[in-house]
Structure 1
Amino acid sequence: MAGNPITTTTAEDDQNATSLGFDTLVQHAGQGPEHWCTQNALVPPIVTSTTFLLPGIRDKWIDLPYVYSRQGNPTRNAFEICIASLDGAKHGIAFSSGVTTALAVTMAFLKTGDHIICGSEVYGGISDQFRQITSKMGIDVSFIDTTDPKNVEKSIKTNTRMIWLETPSNPCLRITDIKAIAVIAHQHPDLFLAVDNTFSSPYYQKPLELGADLCMASVTKYINGHSDVLMGILCTNNDEFNEKLRNMQLLTGGVPSPFDCYLANRGVKTLPVRMERHQQNAFAVANFLQKNPRVEKALYPGLPNHPQYELAKKQMKGFSGMVCFWLKGGFDEAEIFLNKLQLFKNAASLGSVHSLAEHPITNKYDHLFSNQK
């Protein structure tokens, strides 16, 4: 038993959000006491209740915003409204992890016999989910180089229903032209475009404004920013998409806890200042690596030697904090390098207040993903 999905519209409800800047929205969108039960609190409380009082036994409960915590939670709702606002979206739908968001999209919109186009370089957890789970559902997946829009166009079949992009990509920071792919996708009425925006965050890139139908991010990374929350989020301006994804929240139960939503809602308040410092530090690291004789190649989207530098400047406000580089000497040299790090830690993940370095193909976690490079 549960009520109708709650609405997370921000443009009308949150101080005419479309006219406010990013730094203002991150502090105010979804943060007013009208969005939760405790009317006088300035900070969204952690509402741990799994169930909420109903007015009676007839149908009145259907119109209530909160009935059962899978269907809606005030702490989660405050966070969802905030992130939707930052993405320029009407709706934000939070899930218990980044990979759960991808599974929710597959389950909500695809069926046996459908076809997915996916970037050849995306997060290994996503690509392996498509290979090991989605394929068992009878859904075909083509992994292609999406940095050339022509590759996408010629890969579309009559049963293609979704294009999944990640830009910048994990781990080699390839840039895909979101607007160009969106134009191609929308020439086909049954085809939609989903973009994984994790490496950029909504501060530096807004895929929905570039034509994407869905914007996904691993909240675990930059949005929360403190390596203490596991969560994912999907944002959209499509009311039908929102309804179907809310239904996936309800039916699968793949929702984040109120405490995680509280932490992420708290962490995102510093996203603007953190992203600026991430970028400042990344420029310094990338410039150093480019000049180091032991480095074969270093890539950063904000430097002219990046193959898609001009595109990155065009569709991104900034270039985030990820740097990819190749050491001379191969695996042995990489092992020595990682073992001698002091301030940087050899650990999976990204986007935290910690500085991390990782050799993806041999990382104890990422090596489980067959497509990781």
Structure 2
Amino acid sequence: MKINTDLLHAQQKHDPVTGSHVSPLYQTSTFVLPNFDEAVRLNQNIDQGFVYSRFGNPTVDEFERKVAHLEQAEAAVASASGLGAITLAVMSLVKTGDHVIFGDVIYGCTFALFTKILPSLGVAYTIVDTTNPEAIEAAIKPNTVLVYVETPANPTLKISDIEAVSKVTKKHEKVKLVVDSTFASPYLQNPIVLGADMVVHSATKYLCGHGTVTAGVLAGSKELIDRAKMPYLQCFGSVLDPFAAWTIMQGMKTLGVRMEKHCSNAMKVAEFLDNHPMVDKVYYPGLPSHESHETAKKQMKDFGAMMSVDIKGGIDSCRTVMNSVKVFSLATSLGNVDSLIQHSPTMSHFDMTLEERCKVNIFDGQVRISVGIEDVEDLIEDLDQALKSIK
């Protein structure tokens, strides 16, 4: 099946008792087991049935299977947030004495995980420009176990060539490639197909699409996902609530039509801003001027709906714009059907120092925009009037 059909039908479980068209919601913490021997068997083989919703739940299981199918992966595991899924991926691969490599432009809290938490556990790191596979190759050490890539990267939309990076990591048996593909969604990009070992999504964003839940999901081989589940998911307790999983699956049914409109709107907004007298620079991979434009064309179905904008006048101008918008909402998330705007240096990337941010083009005069599915003329008019408010 093609992707829009899969989004509606793949892995869907119709209720065998009532014939309910929409998959049932199993809002339960535990499951009644028929006898002692079956209780022992299922507790030791959690992928063969359900005993307790921290280990597995039919609603969450359906969501996981749907994401795995869309990403052409063997399995997936859901978590209570995108960062929960990232943590599962990373902690299931590293141990004291290991070394990891990650991109110079990544989500601020992921940056904090790598630079503040892992070193306290005896894990060393190297930051590289992951758009340069040769830089990754040069950074690999005998104790390297993980290369972590975010593409498109938050917030400057750098695009790393997943296939090229995977060719580097596959030369080293112990090194796994994990890709955060949140900005793209499975509709625009499939990192597993391009050679990644695991792909992670903040399902809070485009998969849900309506800003109603926080959730994450990690997909990959069954061996790697089983390792992330037991003991890591079991001990971390970062499990997804069944109602949240059910809600996301309702949102996923329209992922395709939403992404088409998101992308169409974003290109028009980017072109408008690129020619606006109050804008210094637009970071959007759909623009030929973007440093990663050709890579994005090669590995993505479309260019997505995220962009960042350097506004003339610095942080004071950003304040004016964010306080003046009427259609856009000032909010730190992304991927909603409605358009959002935020100030990355003080919101999503506050964990980085000024020097660390400026080194990778996250400037104080920069806003990040998540383009929604409204009428694009209204979005452009709103941004124009907000920019004209700058004194």
TM-score by length of 2: 0.86
Q: Point out the more displaced range, 139-148 or 217-226.
A: 139-148
Question: What does residue range 105-124 of structure 1 map to in structure 2 within 5 Å?
Answer: 105-124=89-108
Change (3 A) 1:302 1:352: same
Distance 2:280 2:5 in 1: 42
Distance 1:38 1:171 in 2: 47
Q: Point out the more displaced range, 130-139 or 246-255.
A: 246-255
- Do the aligned residues in 1 keep the contact of 2:98 with 2:124 (CA within 8 Å)? yes
Cα deviation, 1:183-216, whole Å, max 9, x if unaligned, reads: 0000000111000000100100000010000000
Cα deviation, 1:106-160, whole Å, max 9, x if unaligned, reads: 2212110001100011000111011221111111111111111111010000000
Distance 2:352 2:49 in 1: 39
Matched, 1:231 2:215: yes
Question: What does residue range 254-269 of structure 1 map to in structure 2 within 5 Å?
Answer: 254-269=238-253
In the alignment, what sits opposite 1:283? 267
Give the deviation of 1:368 after TM superposition: 4.3
In the alignment, what sits opposite 2:34? 55
Distance 2:344 2:25 in 1: 36
Structure 2 residue corresponding to 1:340, chosen from 320, 324, 343: 324
AA partner of residue 6 (structure 2): L
Q: Secondary structure at the match of 1:175?
A: coil
Change (3 A) 1:118 1:37: farther
Cα deviation, 1:29-62, whole Å, max 9, x if unaligned, reads: 12123xx775622212221121112121125652
Give the deviation of 1:339 after TM superposition: 1.4
Matched, 1:244 2:227: yes
**Alignment coverage as a number of residue pairs:** 350
In the alignment, what sits opposite 1:129? 113
Distance 1:141 1:68 in 2: 36
In the alignment, what sits opposite 2:255? 271
Question: What does residue range 155-194 of structure 1 map to in structure 2 within 5 Å?
Answer: 155-194=139-178
In the alignment, what sits opposite 2:373? none
In the alignment, what sits opposite 2:73? 89
In the alignment, what sits opposite 1:8? none
Cα deviation, 1:166-194, whole Å, max 9, x if unaligned, reads: 01100000011110110000000011100
In the alignment, what sits opposite 1:24? 5
Change (3 A) 1:50 1:298: same
Distance 1:360 1:168 in 2: 15
Distance 1:37 1:260 in 2: 22
Q: Report the RMSD for the aligned CA atoms in angstroms.
A: 1.5
Distance 1:135 1:190 in 2: 20
Structure 2 residue corresponding to 1:42, chosen from 21, 25, 28: 21
Give the deviation of 1:74 after TM superposition: 0.6
In the alignment, what sits opposite 2:366? none
- Do the aligned residues in 2 keep the contact of 1:286 with 1:323 (CA within 8 Å)? yes
AA partner of residue 101 (structure 2): I
Distance 1:38 1:118 in 2: 48
Give the deviation of 1:164 after TM superposition: 0.3
Distance 1:291 1:258 in 2: 46
- Do the aligned residues in 1 keep the contact of 2:162 with 2:196 (CA within 8 Å)? yes
Distance 1:367 1:191 in 2: 30
Cα deviation, 1:187-246, whole Å, max 9, x if unaligned, reads: 00011100000010010000001000000010001110111110110111x221021012
Runs of 4+ in 1 over 6 A off after TM superposition: none
Q: Secondary structure at the match of 1:325?
A: strand
Structure 2 residue corresponding to 1:150, chosen from 121, 129, 134: 134
Cα deviation, 1:53-83, whole Å, max 9, x if unaligned, reads: 2121125652451111111101101111111
AA partner of residue 233 (structure 2): Q
Matched, 1:73 2:57: yes
Distance 2:20 2:228 in 1: 30
Distance 2:63 2:239 in 1: 12
Distance 1:39 1:312 in 2: 46
TM-score by length of 1: 0.90
Distance 2:107 2:99 in 1: 19
Give the deviation of 1:93 after TM superposition: 0.7
Q: Secondary structure at the match of 1:209?
A: coil
- Do the aligned residues in 1 keep the contact of 2:178 with 2:200 (CA within 8 Å)? yes
Structure 2 residue corresponding to 1:305, chosen from 279, 286, 289: 289
